[in-house]
Amino acid sequence: MAAPRSRGFLLRYLFVLALVLVGAHWSLRGSSIATVHEKALEHASDIKWPSSLSPLKALGLSGTSPSRYNFSLLESTSPPCAQMEGAEDVVLAIKTGATEALERLPIHSKTTLQCFPNSLVFSDLGENLDGIHIQDALDEFSEDIRTQHEDFEHWRRLHEHGRAGLDASAVGVHVAADNLEDAFSNGGWKLDRFKNLPMISKTLNQKPDAKWYVFQDADTYISWSNLRNWTSRMDHEQMIYLGSPAVIDEQVFAHGGSGYVLSKAAMRAVEEQYRNNQTFWDEFAANHWAGDCVLSWILSELGTGLTWGYPLLQGKKPATLDFVNNRGYDRRMWCYPAVSFHHVEQDTIETLWRFEQVWTAEMPDQPMRFGDIFLHWSLPQALSGHRTDWDNYSGDIVNFDERWDEAQCRQRCQDDEECLQWALSDGVCKTSTWVALGESSARTASGWMDDRILNLEIEACTEGEWIMPDS
């Protein structure tokens, strides 16, 4: 088994990478991007990290598994995101549930909520957790549904007994987006669809003076600096509904996990429509299965369609993305600013947030694009040659009927000139012609073809501007 590469090896590779970026057209917007990583590391000292902690490690670019950080590192100063202008113009509302809040919320108090001074958190249980005030999103839902609907049984237990009313088997259990059979048997998930419209009403009533309202799930990461750069270019007095598109029964709506954005004008119109017709819309939600889709129906009634914010608003986690080749909806992801990711683990929220702070401090007006995240966050972590207990999501099974060992799997990738990475699990060898970082996975080994990755040629961007409502 090959040993993990040394830190010295990684640093040499990063130096080579800088040269390749200039000489082989890795530039996103001209040659300036080639110096971003160096400038970010130089600026690390300005955020007052202890001299004993390497800036590489503090950025999560150590070439090993993503680092866990000591949050005391920022005790002496506010993070760069908190120093940007316009914080008072944006409200962030996080949707969670009692079964997941203990696991997913604490990381946001140390990262996301440091950037959004105007923030609210909603759940199916009102409580205070890790210094975060969590509001019950459903306490003003139509009484007949709250007290009688079978899907509110979970809420009724929580309302009567608090956390003692939780089904222990459901705590910390997350339902995969494509596993509706499990979803329909999960009490927290069944309640989730009822929260979207009450959250809009409560958010506007508590924060009526903002210009923009952003809604996300507890496992969503949102880049404050990119979000602010984006919304500052639009008119909040216009009816604007931004999101990553999804479809149910031909109704296009903003996928809630990717995060969605409403202008003040849209918020006011939706809140008024819901307030004046609450019984109808609550019953509509009861007969639907996706609350984010229900919201789109109200906006359709108001004559407002979705502005397709993909790929800025992203429904996947960065560890699984093909940053280089992804061209969903004929938009080249590499070139666009990265505003959100979904299904993001706590460690990844942590490392992305740290990376964003350095970027924001150095270039507050320069958008952090998906290509930048690949080059300076994802790729340096992958350039370790080999990892154990790690799955890099290589997807092409070489031969399911054969049993492979690590040396054979790596050689199989080496023999294929187009192969960039490989993974071995339970004797099954998989290879891939694209690059993904991946994540921790027991009894799985993964590797990358470092030299080939470093010599990939990336075309200069001819697109990637901010997606606007009229585009």
Quick: pLDDT tens for 357-376. 888 887 777 899 998 888 77
Identify the domain containing residue 13 by its residue range: 1-77+370-471
| Residues 59 and 140 placed together within one structural domain of the fold | no
Asked if residue 301 has pLDDT above 90, the reply is yes
Asked if residue 439 has pLDDT above 80, the reply is yes
Tell me, yes or no, if the pTM score tops 0.75: yes
The CATH number of residue 32's host domain is: 3.50.4.10
Average pLDDT, whole number, for the chain? Answer: 83
Per residue in 385-395, pLDDT tens?
789 999 999 98
| Domains identified in the chain, total number | 2
382 belongs to a structural domain: yes
Percent of the chain with pLDDT over 70: 80
pLDDT value for 205:
98
| Residues 66 and 100 placed together within one structural domain of the fold | no
| Residues 230 and 264 placed together within one structural domain of the fold | yes
In which band, very low, low, confident or very high, does the pLDDT at 53 lie, cut at 50, 70 and 90?
very low
pLDDT value for 166:
87
345 belongs to a structural domain: no
| Residues 253 and 384 placed together within one structural domain of the fold | no
3-state secondary structure 14-68: HHHHHHHHHHCCCCCCCHHHHHHHHHHHHHHHHHCCCCCCCHHHHCCCCCCCCCC
Rounded CA separation 213/459 (Å): 36
- SS3 label, residue 124: coil
Percent of the chain with pLDDT over 90: 62
Burial bucket for residue 209 (CB in 10 Å: 0-12, 13-18, 19+): exposed
Per residue in 258-279, pLDDT tens?
999 999 999 999 999 999 999 9
- Domain end, chosen from 262, 280, 308, is at 308
| Residues 396 and 250 placed together within one structural domain of the fold | no
- Domain end, chosen from 261, 278, 308, is at 308
Rounded CA separation 275/427 (Å): 58
| Residues 221 and 272 placed together within one structural domain of the fold | yes
466 belongs to a structural domain: yes
| Residues 133 and 261 placed together within one structural domain of the fold | yes
45 belongs to a structural domain: yes
253 belongs to a structural domain: yes
Rounded CA separation 47/376 (Å): 18
Rounded CA separation 158/154 (Å): 6
- Domain end, chosen from 264, 281, 308, is at 308
Helix, strand and coil in the chain, % to nearest 5: 45, 15, 40
Per residue in 129-180, pLDDT tens?
989 999 999 999 999 999 999 999 999 999 999 998 887 766 655 544 444 5
pLDDT value for 185:
67
344 belongs to a structural domain: no
| Residues 61 and 132 placed together within one structural domain of the fold | no
| Residues 177 and 113 placed together within one structural domain of the fold | yes
| Residues 25 and 145 placed together within one structural domain of the fold | no
Q: For residue 217, which of 101, 356, 82, 369 has the smallest C-alpha distance?
A: 101
The CATH number of residue 223's host domain is: 3.90.550
Per residue in 179-221, pLDDT tens?
455 555 678 889 999 999 999 999 999 999 999 999 999 999 9
Q: What's the mean pLDDT in 88-94? A: 97
| Residues 64 and 110 placed together within one structural domain of the fold | no
154 belongs to a structural domain: yes
33 belongs to a structural domain: yes
Summary count for the chain: helices (H), strands (E): 20, 17
| Residues 241 and 183 placed together within one structural domain of the fold | yes
